[in-house]
Structure 1
């Protein structure tokens, strides 16, 4: 395993934290192979001490010894396999959890890998990496078996034993030359599979819009091309590995066959006895398995290293946001952006006071997306974004997200029920009903016989776009953060529902005595009319501010933006 490989640390950690089960299982597997290697020796002894002499007592004794060896063989295999399988399963689970935790890190993982590729890493690559805990005992026990057999052959005939001791390192050295090629091919295979998974995820998610514009055939053709690349990579990796296995099997068979031929010649010339010949033939047949294991070591190592490298690319990746500093002080639901430059935004100033409902209209969609993005992930911007007087990126992410929640335009729903997609806990009482009414999501529940227990399929595929928006809207309202930022929350609903949702924001978050702040990034006249104040962003900075009615009357650019 290359010391420079980024997956080395992942593999070492897997060995270290499963040490007890791994080394116990390895010891038991080694005893199993030791017993298996002794079987042909004991058969030769039975022939020499009992069969050749006709001694019935000796026959019974050595058959009993052979039976005890088989008993130890069976017991050690069973208990060793149980410990190792548990270690493999638990390590695979730990790696999946670690990858998922890194992906969901509140500080935001710094990666350009698509969602589907991350999903493949958290599943397939995590499993391939955990298989190292299977490879180590197999390799160790195979070495024990080969060593015992080689010593046995040395005691019978020095040329036979030396053949084994010299030939095996040569065979392994030759086969190991292919390890880098196998590692590259396996990594390429996993990368291409991840791309295909990512594209499939995107296509399934956007299947309804694609059908709406008649682009499903184009999407299918794109997936077909990516799938072909994935298939080609899989075939290249399979050819390489199968070629390797063919060569390894052939060399192992030639080596064991050569030992058997030498033993036959030695028996014919009187250099070894009949019982020794039987032992050699039995050992030669037995050695096929450990030879096969040792010959595929480079392939196993390459596959585990390639998978561990992909896991390490996620678990060791940096994060977008810096470590947390102190918790915000002052008025926690006060948000101030000063001279912020981020993407297309240039010198943006925005102040949201406690209890204020602010509408934001951007002349360019990219400005709206950039504002929502920088409030959700305050990274690589210039200027100041202050939450309660503290820079947003230095606030502990858990606390910052409780104080400021940004609901993106594209939201995700999960497999479950309407209730489980809206409420994290079951103890919201009347607040859940209020959030449902405010988001007009109660109508979604009323349309189904099971009401709030209506099943929701993966990504909310059984709901329309407007229904998904209302459910996500209700979820954001129920969370009740002091500052809530909504990006185009009503683009898929009708005018009546949109008015009900605008009234719901006002009623639930801006009633008497409330200090909640709400920012709605939208071009919807209905939502903007409900806001206390509207800010218009033109060319990346604020160019106008006032009520919706004032801006519609006096600002031509604003009027074109909201009435187009």
Structure 2
């Protein structure tokens, strides 16, 4: 028969659904977060030379364009005076060609630099996400984190080229154009500035709304990813429950919200853009009327009016560029804010500390818990209430107890996925937090209860923690985990893809892959959390014997519910309601501990399994 006893508090249990301390999902950046432009400058700094070159080319293009109205003015004057204009026509042609070539080159250089900024931001964020503390991941939606690492950095490209660079070059060209217009006629310049001033007021009102709508739109994209990831991650369960319509409605609701927010952002962007276009047209008509009157009155000549009108048309470029820059800055600011929120999540150290390993590799480790208390959050009840026990080097120690007793969380504390809220955990007599984290985990082989397998080949999964292992040692691990027969059957052997989350493997095969992966690390401490729960009797018996063999040279800790595994342990620790109830051998505990005797009699599988 099967037993209801499990690992106690694996991630699916009600006692392990929240993280430690006060960590929360990405919601708002810390109060000392720098403004978006300062963050962007940090990403830009390594590429500043390339961006400067692109900006210079853009300014040169603009300067060539500014010269065209003056050449046109001279052309009209020469035509009026019946002078030759071949040279001026050649000059205008040259200016147009230079403008086009430099514009194309400058656009490419700027876009290349902007994509480099996106690359840097994305690499930085993905590196941070892969090092997040487990407690931070517990409070986050994986789909939303993926969106922050994929979609949000993409918006930095436009923020770089159209916002920061565009605002700078557009501003300079705007000033230069206004100076050239002032040289031609101050009165017409005043008319033009009056119209542009009204546009600036509209943009000032609209700009904050663009940023708010864009951030909400990006957040809704993250919600789409989170909702879809939840459904696809349990698609078999969804289909078996006939829940496709409900999940479909949830995903569609998220996509509809994204559509609404993007339409809202598009509305405000359209208002700002069209306000700029309208102001240019109004300025042109006003200048045409006032300028025509000034030509009729003899204050200016027709060539000056034509040149000024050309500058009004030319003014459309820097004004539109400036408006786009403001819009893209607000769009990019929303993305930067979301990226910074993700960066604010607590992560583990990136580099290994200088602390040496407490003992040579291969030597079995000892483990001691001293009055360890732990809770997943300040608002949640304690999981452990002063857990104390000692596991000497070498041998097998089994943890048993009712569901929710806190057994699997003990392994998470040893791996430092979480830190205890009180008490001490010692490995080789040294407090675990004084270890180098990478050195600690390198000394541990860990087989999780659900034995996750990553997308990729079987070889990739086996060598995940020991990439340099090959040859006889790899084949020995395959034989030990009874995977050699599977490898022989697979069409591409070790290089056969296992599918998303190992869907091409059975549950037992995934467990055997996890066991082989752990053994290949040659661990000093082996943690097995229900490592044989999905194996058939033959494979379970074989691997049980293997674990017993490994325990002669390594410290092995096992969370198990099968009596056949427990009775092989050198010591058994009975955990109940977050406390160590008893420690002893199977025979001792059957005699001396009522809970263990009940579990052995009614909940463990019989010794004949």
TM over 0.5: yes
Instruction: Say which SS state the counterpart of residue 73 (structure 1) adopts.
Output: helix
Q: Within 5 Å, which residues of 2 pair with 1:194-213?
A: 194-211=222-239
The partner residue of 1:388 within 408, 412, 428 is 428
Matched, 1:556 2:580: no
Matched, 1:417 2:445: no
Q: Within 5 Å, which residues of 2 pair with 1:109-508?
A: 110=136, 112-134=139-161, 135-211=163-239, 214-217=240-243, 221-222=246-247, 224-232=249-257, 234-269=258-293, 270=295, 271-319=299-347, 326-327=355-356, 329=358, 333-343=365-375, 344-365=383-404, 367-376=406-415, 377-424=417-464, 425=467, 427-507=469-549
Residue 209 of structure 2 contacts residue 268 of structure 2 at CA under 8 Å; is this kept in 1? no
Q: Distance in 2 between matches of 1:180 and 1:252?
A: 17
Q: Distance in 2 between matches of 1:437 and 1:410?
A: 22
Q: Distance in 1 between matches of 2:159 and 2:300?
A: 41
The partner residue of 1:536 within 574, 581, 598 is 574
Q: Deviations over 1:114-138 (max 9, x none)?
A: 2221111111112223433212222
Task: Tell me by how many angstroms 1:476 deviates.
Answer: 1.4
Residue 182 of structure 1 contacts residue 303 of structure 1 at CA under 8 Å; is this kept in 2? yes
Matched, 1:545 2:577: no
Task: Tell me by how many angstroms 1:108 deviates.
Answer: 5.5
Task: Tell me by how many angstroms 1:230 deviates.
Answer: 4.3
Task: Tell me by how many angstroms 1:445 deviates.
Answer: 2.0
CA shift in 2, pair 1:227/1:390, >3 Å? farther
Which protein has greater RCO, CA pairs closer than 8 Å, 6+ apart?
A: 2
Consecutive unaligned residues in structure 1, runs of 5 or more: none
Aligned length: 552
Residue 347 of structure 1 contacts residue 541 of structure 1 at CA under 8 Å; is this kept in 2? yes
Q: Distance in 1 between matches of 2:460 and 2:133?
A: 25
Residue 325 of structure 1 contacts residue 395 of structure 1 at CA under 8 Å; is this kept in 2? no
Q: Distance in 2 between matches of 1:420 and 1:166?
A: 67
CA RMSD of aligned residues (A): 2.9
CA shift in 2, pair 1:458/1:160, >3 Å? farther
Instruction: Say which SS state the counterpart of residue 406 (structure 2) adopts.
Output: helix
Q: Distance in 2 between matches of 1:100 and 1:118?
A: 9
Q: Deviations over 1:428-485 (max 9, x none)?
A: 2212112222223333323322121211223223333332222222211212221121
- Which residue number corresponds to residue 85 of structure 1? 111
Q: Distance in 2 between matches of 1:392 and 1:381?
A: 13
Q: Distance in 1 between matches of 2:433 and 2:132?
A: 11
Task: Tell me by how many angstroms 1:397 deviates.
Answer: 1.1
CA shift in 2, pair 1:194/1:440, >3 Å? farther
Residue 321 of structure 1 contacts residue 379 of structure 1 at CA under 8 Å; is this kept in 2? no
Task: Tell me by how many angstroms 1:544 deviates.
Answer: 2.7
- Which residue number corresponds to residue 10 of structure 2? none
Residue 29 of structure 1 contacts residue 138 of structure 1 at CA under 8 Å; is this kept in 2? no
Consecutive unaligned residues in structure 2, runs of 5 or more: 1-29, 376-382
Residue 414 of structure 1 contacts residue 459 of structure 1 at CA under 8 Å; is this kept in 2? yes
Q: Deviations over 1:527-552 (max 9, x none)?
A: 32443332221121222333446646
